[in-house]
Amino acid sequence: MIEKLADFIEEVKNFKAETAAKAEELRLKFLAKKGILNEIFAEFKNVPPEQKKDFGQKINTLKQLVEQKIQEAKERSEEDSSKPADLDTSLPGPNIALGSHHPITMVKNEIIEIFGRLGFTVAEGQEIEDDYHNFTALNFPPEHPARDMQDTFFIETDPDILLRTHTSGGQVRVMEKQQPPIRVLVPGRVFRNEAVSARSHCIFHQVEGLYIDKNVSFADLKQTLMYFAKEFYGEKTEIRLRPSYFPFTEPSAEMDVSCSICGGKGCAICKGTGWLEILGCGMVHPNVLRNCGIDPEVYSGFAFGMGIERTAMLRYGVTDIRMFFENDMKFLSRFKH
């Protein structure tokens, strides 16, 4: 009997339970009610006492071996994920975390959409500009103090190359290539060497616009901007234009809108004035038109430019401009819709 037991152990050791069916075969042969193990147990009482210990140990070994083989086969079949029977294609998939548009993109797109209704198209310009397109063509003569209005990052090895301080250079590039009528928006990132704080940043975004045709007047400028203000800030919004100075426009103005937070009564956001300054604008200077190959005797036009961060801060009640550049998931997920 002892030898028979040893043979069974050898048999199980060499058994390959590659499939679930083969493992089941093994189980039936050894572990079933009328299986080999029960048969051997029944023999136990006939074993001479001095062999009982050895016999008992061998039975245990055999039983463990059979169970181990069956367990291994089971694990193997669970790992085998290609088994089509286990795959329920009707189950809903796991949730995928969706991203959202950045608030700067959302405001930019809204501005583009509003002016788009008036026939404005979009040109991108370039972030790395030359001095000519950022300044000289825009009627900033060399050494002109107006260049200090915008603190500029120059490329160290070539003072002619700089990071654009406004997107106006993009308008110059459009005018160089295209004769009027021109109706174009230039959105994009701009750079100024300013200390970073809650209110200002060395990187920000602008949308600038340019409209050139025959007989374009300041009244057209005012009407266009009023339309924009009412569409963006609400029907009740009023605008006011204050005289200002830019080398590339004459006359120049700064536009305020009635405070959308307090409705013009005066609050902390508008510092009690009831007005919020949102953009610079003016009639394109004849020198700029001439520099770009457009005849100022025939054509006239207006331009305007606004900062997107400031507009987005007002719209969403963001109090620190740095939040737009932090990529803080908690902040960004507020803007999902």
Interacting residue ranges for ligand PHE, rule: CB under 6 A: 166, 168, 208, 246, 249, 280-282, 303-305
Smaller CB distance to ligand PHE: residue 8 or 140?
A: 140
Distance, in Å, from the CA atom of 152 to the CA atom of 191, rounded to the nearest integer, reads 7
Q: Select from 34, 33, 36 the least CA-distant residue to 8.
A: 36
Q: How far is the CB of 246 from ligand PHE (least distance, A)?
A: 5
Q: How far is the CB of 202 from ligand PHE (least distance, A)?
A: 14
Q: How far is the CB of 149 from ligand PHE (least distance, A)?
A: 7
User: 59: Cβ–Cβ under 8 A, 6 or more apart, which residues?
Assistant: 5, 37, 40, 41, 44
Q: How far is the CB of 254 from ligand PHE (least distance, A)?
A: 8
> Which 8-state DSSP code applies to residue 333?
G
Q: How far is the CB of 284 from ligand PHE (least distance, A)?
A: 8
Do 65 and 15 meet the contact criterion of CB atoms below 8 Å apart?
no
Smaller CB distance to ligand PHE: residue 103 or 282?
A: 282
The residue of the chain with the least Cβ separation from ligand PHE equals 305
Which helix H or strand E contains 305, and what residues bound it?
Answer: strand 300-307
Distance, in Å, from the CA atom of 321 to the CA atom of 197, rounded to the nearest integer, reads 8
User: 13: Cβ–Cβ under 8 A, 6 or more apart, which residues?
Assistant: 65
Q: How far is the CB of 322 from ligand PHE (least distance, A)?
A: 20
Distance, in Å, from the CA atom of 276 to the CA atom of 268, rounded to the nearest integer, reads 11
Q: How far is the CB of 95 from ligand PHE (least distance, A)?
A: 43
Smaller CB distance to ligand PHE: residue 17 or 210?
A: 210
102-to-106, 109, 204, 207 alpha-carbon distances in Å: 6, 11, 14, 16
At 255, phi and psi to the nearest 5?
-110, 130
Smaller CB distance to ligand PHE: residue 5 or 308?
A: 308
Upper half-sphere CA count for residue 223 (Cβ side, 13 Å): 7
Smaller CB distance to ligand PHE: residue 40 or 306?
A: 306
Smaller CB distance to ligand PHE: residue 134 or 258?
A: 134
Smaller CB distance to ligand PHE: residue 69 or 166?
A: 166
Distance, in Å, from the CA atom of 2 to the CA atom of 40, rounded to the nearest integer, reads 10
